[in-house]
A = this chain, B = another copy of it.
Amino acid sequence: MKKSMITAVLILAAGLFAGQALAVEQFKEQRIIRSGETASIKGSDKFFTGNVRIDPVYPANNAMRSSGGSVTFEPGARSNWHIHPVGQVLIVTSGVGLTQEWGKPIQEIKAGDVVICPVGVKHWHGAKPNTSMTHLSVCEDKGDGVVVEWMEKVTDEQYSEYKGN
């Protein structure tokens, strides 16, 4: 992997869930990022509650504005409330978790489910209290590299509103 690619992935890793602007990598040929080349990082306590691991998948590149990261929430872990300036798609790849749009009931999401969250809709996502959940997150930006705007934490009271099994 070229140094520029490593740099892009590291910027992605640092910025994906930190509200920082992401770099756009430019390639002239096909590039393969091998499994294991990109280090996992710990989700910041500023933006998450509980143990969260982020595995960067791909940076915005060339003409493409989307970037992707895999996020694993240990039982009880969740994101803060947040919005996406262009939107987000979550593809649940493992486990069972929860998501909630502001003002609406918490919903369970399972491996194979896909969550489409439109621009500006305030939401959170994470694990269930007793099961982990991993999703691929795909976001886009407006050309400024900003894919998320972080808000307040999901309180234990809010999180415990889910009564399903």
Contact = CB atoms under 8 A, between A and B. Distances in A.
Contact of A113 (B32, B113, B119): B32
A130 interface: no
A118 B35 contact: no
Contacts of A29: 101, 104, 118, 121
A146 to B, nearest CB: 13
> How many copies of this kind of chain does the complex include?
2
Most chain-B Cβ atoms within 10 A of its Cβ — which of A28, A29, A66, A107?
A66
A64 B89 contact: yes
Interface of A: 25-36, 57-58, 61-66, 68, 86-87, 89, 91, 93, 99, 101, 104, 107, 109-119, 121, 123, 136, 138, 140
19 contacts: A26-B118, A29-B101, A30-B99, A30-B104, A30-B115, A30-B121, A32-B109, A32-B113, A32-B115, A35-B112, A57-B114, A58-B114, A58-B116, A62-B119, A63-B87, A63-B119, A64-B66, A64-B86, A68-B138
